[in-house]
A and B are shown apart, each in its own frame.
Chain A
Amino acid sequence: MLQINYDPATNPLNNNEWAFPLFECIHISMFAMSVGTIALVDFRLLGVALRKYSPAQLLKATSLWTLIGLVVVVTSGMVIATTDPLAYYYNGAFRYKMLMLLIAIVYNYTIHRRVAMSQAAPAVNIVVGGLSLAMWMSVVFLGIFYAFT
């Protein structure tokens, strides 16, 4: 068992009734912003909506909001994790979440971005957009399953 020289009971987040849920609210709002703006580009790639605009147009319009959302969601997530770091570290769902998150972020700024910015074939768009939606949904699902495992 991993030992760390840190007592979570001293963490202000564990000693204030409002601090922990407040960080959760920030975390949820910001994943809504980041995942939501990415999903918008995905919907366009899937050809479901906003077909009048190119995926590139939508990506450019949303990328700043995605980035702000991602930065805040990761930061607030780290703060939340300090409330009981070992419990998170040893939770299977949490480990998969971190792995999926890393893959999803890398995918978002490499393949996803490249395809959205180019005029790829509809089949390629559908695969890339669908994969992106699935990855981000799995991150959300694993986040919830942390509390149930």
Chain B
Amino acid sequence: MSPYYQIAQAVQDTSFFTAVRESALIYPIILSTHLSMIAIFGGLILLTDLRLLGVTLTGVPASDIVRWTRPLKWVGFLIMITCGILLGGAKLLTYYDNPYFILKLSLLGCVGIHALVFRKSVYWNPQALDDPKGPPRAAKVAACLSMVLWVAILSNGRWIAYWEGADPNASIRPVNVELVARLTNR
């Protein structure tokens, strides 16, 4: 038995995560909150990215958009991560070796790297952002990468549920093969 399996088992077996997993109402509520935050937080990211690309809100300095949306993004991000940890921890045994889960976490890591890389040149550089000739090329690259990363993260998040792994019962949602079987028997 791999040490990862044992760690995953230990985490999901804690009384706290067991309670989250077994609750009929709490689990879907956390999942819904997780998804609502994607919507709200995603809108802020999208608006920032579009402004950096010079597509919308061009009457407003880009640095203002970056500065004014920052605290809200942090709030959304923290709620989203908290819900994510609750969801992941509660069913860690079905997630720890799920390639989509691993990819999603890696992409989240890339978001951190993205923030560090463009911190000086874009996000904390109001002078360059408000250049009368428009945001610098680095800002446009950062905006495009940000959109690609977030769409990839939410897509991988969805795909986690479709990985069957070694145990076909591990999937949390019936895959379409099962649905077809059910429909043909109707």
Contact = CB atoms under 8 A, between A and B. Distances in A.
B60 interface: yes
Query: Which secondary structure dominates chain B's binding surface?
Result: helix
B2 interface: no
A125 to B, nearest CB: 17
Main secondary structure of the interface of A (DSSP, over half): helix
A15 interface: yes
A147 B158 CA distance: 14
A58 B43 CA distance: 12
Contacts of B166: none
Interface residues of B, number: 44
B50 A65 contact: yes
B32 interface: yes
Interface string A30-57: 0111011111100100001111110001
B158 A21 contact: yes
B150 to A, nearest CB: 8
A26 B40 CA distance: 16
Interface stretch (A105-113, A114-122, A133-141): A133-141
A5 to B, nearest CB: 14
A31 B32 contact: no
B173 A14 contact: no
Interface of A: 7-9, 13-17, 20-21, 24-25, 28-29, 31-33, 35-40, 43, 48-53, 57-58, 61-62, 64-65, 83-84, 136-137, 140-141, 143-145, 147-148
* Smallest CB-CB A-B distances: 6 pairs: A36-B43, A32-B42, A35-B39, A141-B32, A61-B57, A144-B32
18 contacts: A14-B176, A21-B159, A21-B162, A25-B151, A25-B154, A25-B155, A25-B159, A29-B151, A29-B154, A35-B40, A37-B43, A38-B43, A39-B40, A40-B43, A57-B60, A65-B46, A84-B179, A144-B32
Given A35-B43, A36-B40, A61-B47, 11 more contacts: A33-B42, A36-B46, A40-B44, A43-B72, A49-B71, A53-B60, A65-B56, A83-B176, A140-B35, A144-B31, A148-B24
